[in-house]
Amino acid sequence: MVSLLGTSSSSILSCPRLSSTPLTSPLCFRPGNTFGGKLYRRIQSETKKSRSRHHVLVTNVATGINSIEQLFWGLLGKKEESARPVYPFAAIVGQDEMKLCLLLNVIDPKIGGVMIMGDRGTGKSTTVRSLVDLLPEITVVAGDPYNSDPKDPEFMGKEVRERVQKGEELDVMETKINMVDLPLGATEDRVCGTIDIEKALTEGVKAFEPGLLAKANRGILYVDEVNLLDDHLVDVLLDSAASGWNTVEREGISISHPARFILIGSGNPEEGELRPQLLDRFGMHAQVSTVRDAELRVKIVEERACFDSNPKEFRESYLEEQMKLQEQITSARSNLSGVEIDQDLKVKISRVCAELDVDGLRGDIVTNRAARALAALKGRDHVTAEDVGIVIPNCLRHRLRKDPLESMDSGIVVTEKFYEVFS
């Protein structure tokens, strides 16, 4: 049974390292049997070729290439060697609060993402991108550019939904949750999707080429330096985050597709503030600070030097821990629906939000979801007050009204109010 040490929001799960040299790692793992991005179920049959009955064709060359690449490397088992090496999540030293927020969002994507703010060079981007190895697999409709869920209509594209209504059998495949990077210099057409110029010129048809929002459906959309993002792209993200759908109006094309993703952003508060409308869309907010302990800094430098000199060997040394953590996440996702939270705890959570004068009800909803996800991560089917105390600062910190004369960190304000209400 996994146990939690401490009651602060920066404490997660702890266990000793397997080797003789101790490493500060906040996570305790359970044995697992799977790891990596293998396709463990192949496509049942080839997709039947047929003309679309719609006037607008949907093409996605990138998705087709990715599917073929996944199948190819899955069969050969060499994707690990060919892909650019990623720093292992289990090797990240410290930054417990950030890692906990990321794991909870993977367990329950409906939490709404996480905003990570902190000093430069504190491992924000490294930690987010290291999450790729731990992402579980999901079932998608083969060849669909939107990663449609064959069973959930909310995550289905229009064409897949029509095929289901007709009673057609869908070819499905298993693939890892996708992580899409949104560059600061991306154009609106690349993000939302646009008309396929090549098909328009060569075939004389209006074809829609999906963008990054389509690729991120049912996955993760990561924006580094999100506080520097152009306003027109912020508006696009706000619209998609609010509705879960992306609507494109381009050169006579009108099309909507599902765009439900985990929004992860990172940035340095010294470089600019984030628009309040977008900040409120992030379910959780994690603050990252520079490590001050000299021995811990040396440990981080040595670990990074080992990774840079021999990434393959370094990753293999953490393979067992990565596998155990991935198994823990998969188990938590499957058990999440059975986790319960008492009515008394729900009332106290809402009391904290009300007394802190939090606008809206997103704070209440996210805190309940995050507490249930934490209980599932710890292998329990019941939420405790301790679970709420760990996640509530991250769920409410960014929702408090700004007071220019207030010198106390907003997370501390939330924690003090929690103890006042829950005592």
- What gap in Å lies between CA 398 and CA 384, rounded to an integer? 23
Positions marked active-site = 362
Distance of CA 82 to the CA centre of its chain: 24
- What gap in Å lies between CA 195 and CA 98, rounded to an integer? 39
Q: Which amino acid is at 399?
A: R
Residues 6+ apart with CB under 8 A from 238: 277, 278, 281
